[in-house]
Amino acid sequence: MREILFYRTESDECPVEDFLDTLDSKQAQKVAWVMQVIEELEKVPTTYLKKLVNTEGIWEIRVQIGNNIFRFLGFFDDGNFIILTNGFQKNTKGS
């Protein structure tokens, strides 16, 4: 089983928490559900979790809600821990 942790700066700021605070309740629920899937499933669909091409160990958690895609970047530490460093949103409308 995996555990998802959020990176914190030395001054105890957390970019992922700051981003999550900007989401509405429906968006936050979907993000929480995807993160739970990642923590609980042994084999996670690449729809939700995949290693970014041409990187040295950067992974992406991806959550799609309608035309919005929420992405969280991070890395594995000690095999079962995913440390998320940041999150952002991309609107796919018109793309």
Residue 59 has pLDDT above 80, yes or no: yes
- Whether this model's pTM surpasses 0.85: yes
Residue 93 has pLDDT above 80, yes or no: no
Residue 49 has pLDDT above 70, yes or no: yes
Q: How many CA atoms lie within 13 A of 87 on its CB side?
A: 25
Q: For residues 80 and 1, is the Cβ–Cβ distance under 8 A?
A: yes
DSSP-assigned letter for residue 8 = -
- Give the pLDDT confidence score for residue 92 in this predicted structure: 67
CA distance 92 to 5: 27
- Give the pLDDT confidence score for residue 50 in this predicted structure: 96
Across residues 4-12, what is the average pLDDT?
Answer: 97
Q: For residues 82 and 38, is the Cβ–Cβ distance under 8 A?
A: yes
